[in-house]
Structure 1
């Protein structure tokens, strides 16, 4: 930090086990990537190349190298995994991970119908190759999953070998964990936390109000994902109580 302030919440240090910020790259140019890394690399723990943008991005390996040189791991969006699986190309997906020297991958079923036992088999297989992040929840706004089922799915995926589970919200933050308005399904989140440790969950929270809600509930070291690259530093100030939304949250009565 550039100067000293009292009563700033303690943040975990990279490489973190929790307190994660997962940034979502939806197609940044190489120059944009360099600019983001110059300003925000200290606060980005992992980068997701959103959905299947890696299929069409023209300089994929060059971009991956930029992140690698900055010490930031990357992974391909879960939609790409689903695109391979639905075409019976799981082995090709595994080869792709090796070809790109990926250390992480996402397993999801937000866009396809996948028996959960089969999803867990994919997690188990991939966990022997890379570190697996598994996503729970549907991209279909009409599909409401009850809290007990979220807990059951998350636990089974962790047991299958997932390093962390991701709560689905899409890049817009209006499905899964959230209502169509972006409001948090607070009862759902609080019930999940009665059974699944907060350190094991990355909450997709692209909207500022959602980020504030999770930080106030869990603390500065909550894992948050689907953060726009240019919102990484603003998020860090929210985590530290240096923005109006959380300004008083970490202060004691006597400053």
Structure 2
């Protein structure tokens, strides 16, 4: 850090299992990636190329190589996985992962209907090839999944080989874990945490109020995802109690 302050929460160091920040890249250019990483690389653990943006992104290999040189793994959004699955192209998807030297993959079923055992089988297969992140929750804001089912699905996907499970929120933070207003479904989150270890979950939380809510509940080292590149530094200050939203939360304690 640039200077010393007392009573700052202790943050985990990379490679992290907790305090994980997943950034969503929705189409940055190689030059924008360089600029972003010049200030944010220390605080970024993995970057998701949102939904299927990788299909239409020019100079994709060049961009991925910039992330790789910075020591930051990348993966393609779960919607791309689903786009291959619905077209019967799973083996083609696996070849794409190899072609672009991807070490992570996201398995999701937020846009299509998929038997859950089939989803778990995809996780088992891909986990032999890459590190799997599996996403639980629907992108349909009319589809409400009860807490017990979230728990069942998350545990089954972890058992199938997922490294971490992701709580769905989309890039807008208005489905899945959240109501259409962006308000956290707090009862759902707290019930999930009675059964699934917090370090195994990445909570998609693109809105500042959502990030603050999770940090107040679980501490500085909660795993958060779908963070915009220009929100990485602001998020780190929230984690450290250096923004008004959490200013008084960590003055008399060490971070989790």
| Bin for the TM-score computed over the shorter chain | over 0.9
Alignment of 1:59-208 (within 5 A): 59-208=59-208
Deviation by residue 1:13-42 (Cα, 9 ceiling, x = unmatched): 001111100000000011111000001000
Corresponding residue for 2:248? 248
Alignment of 1:31-70 (within 5 A): 31-70=31-70
Deviation by residue 1:85-130 (Cα, 9 ceiling, x = unmatched): 0000000000010111100000000000000000000000000000
For the residues of structure 1 that align with 2:160 and 2:18, how far apart are their CA atoms? Answer: 20
1:187 shift after superposition:
0.2
For the residues of structure 2 that align with 1:240 and 1:17, how far apart are their CA atoms? Answer: 18
Corresponding residue for 1:5? 5
For the residues of structure 2 that align with 1:217 and 1:183, how far apart are their CA atoms? Answer: 14
1:182 shift after superposition:
0.1
Give SS of 1:184's match: coil
For the residues of structure 2 that align with 1:6 and 1:115, how far apart are their CA atoms? Answer: 51
Aligned residues: 253
Tell me how large the CA RMSD over aligned residues is: 0.7
Q: Mind listing any 5+ residue stretches in structure 2 that lack a counterpart?
A: none
Give SS of 2:237's match: helix
For the residues of structure 2 that align with 1:65 and 1:199, how far apart are their CA atoms? Answer: 28
For the residues of structure 1 that align with 2:175 and 2:99, how far apart are their CA atoms? Answer: 33
Corresponding residue for 1:30? 30
1:51 shift after superposition:
0.1
Give SS of 1:9's match: coil
For the residues of structure 1 that align with 2:123 and 2:83, how far apart are their CA atoms? Answer: 16
Give SS of 1:67's match: helix
Q: TM-score, normalising length from structure 1?
A: 0.99
